[in-house]
Amino acid sequence: MKLVYLDNAASTKISARVVEKMMESYSENYGNPSSTHKLGQKARAAVEKTRNVIAGYLGAEGKEIIFTSGGAEGNNLVIRGALNAYDYKGKHIITSKIEHSSVLKTCQQLEREGYEVTYIDVDENGVVNLEQLKNSIRKDTVIVSIMYANNETGVKQPIKEIGKILKNTGIMFHTDAVQSMCKEVIFPKDLNINALTVASHKFYGPKGVGFVYLDKNFLIEKEIWGGSQERNRRAGTENLQGILGLGTAMEEAYENMDKIEAMEEEIHEYLERRLKNEIEDIKINGEKSPRLKTITNLCLKGCDIQTLLIALDLRGICVSGGSACMSGAHEDSHVLKEMGLDSEELKSSFRISIGKDTTIEEIDYFIDNLKEIAKIERGI
């Protein structure tokens, strides 16, 4: 059976170059980076070299990069870590209603612990309300966390404008950049971003590894206690092979960024053009906003998405109903709900996410099958 993978926003296929780098390290560089002998020093050197390479791509310093296990840990580390480090400032947090669950559920838990959270609305196009955000800032606000681009719709948030609002306030500005990293160049300092979260498996690196960029002028208290790794900000033996895979994936992405971006834009435009021209009663959620050229969130009116996803899967096509992290929850998308979709539209929307290996032929196969399945579902 033909296999067409259109769920790259959930996870990407690890690249051959990354696998080669990691396998080489498993057999030749297996020391503990905290050990003082030669193998330990060799491992430490590899970790620090990778840290500095990553920092270079962000226009940052090596000491501003903290290796983690991925996006969920990174978001928890920054949000909780900032609140603990600046507990004397207050207990107020600002975030948006469309954040990833690792931010929203963390904030909900913090509310149970006595913190106060302001959740910013989005408009029908999925963009946060800047005026509401500005008016929500208080003397006791410690951190503002707004994602760079949404994982379900691809809609980009006005990060530069938020950075300007928060500049010189002393409030930490954190952005979850898990979906955006390596799809465009991001210089946190130019955008007044103080903390940024990244996960390797979103750009052809290994799962279980990521990093946090933390501006050297800001503090966090570690969430995992034990050793003094990562400049005493995250305890635990470093995932050497994962870190090397992450660094290699970033190198490969930055070396080929212009080429990949052009190809993905071409595929993206072809996909959406065929969808709009050939299938009736559809809507692309967030279409009027600036979006990542890798994500299309499609409302296929009159179709039950759970049935449709199964039918596509039986034909070898992998797509997603929304965030993979919440796929077992059987809940309507909170992102689309906040954008104003009604109950029927919520049950008729799903995500298509292309990658660097997606071809025109695969898009044709997907759309041809989608048209057939939609006709069956609609009883046409």
Residues annotated catalytic, as ranges: 325
Whether the Cβ atoms of residue 163 and residue 157 lie closer than 8 Å to each other = no
Backbone phi, psi, residue 366, to 5° = -60, -50
Token code pair at residue 99: 């954040």
Residue 218, Cβ density class (10 Å: 0-12 exposed, 13-18 middle, ≥19 buried): buried
E-assigned strand segments in 121-163: 141-145
Among 185, 139, 194, which Cα is nearest to 162's? 194
For residue 133, the Cα-to-chain-centroid distance in whole angstroms is 22
Among 33, 29, 45, 46, which Cα is nearest to 247's? 46
Cβ contacts of 351 within 8 Å, gap of 6 or more: 7, 9, 152, 153, 295, 296, 297, 298, 319, 320, 321, 322
Crossing angle of the two packed helices 16-28 and 240-255, in degrees rounded to 10? 150
Token code pair at residue 185: 């160049």
Token code pair at residue 343: 């109950």
Q: Which amino acid is present at 136?
A: S
- Cα separation of 243 and 372, whole Å? 44
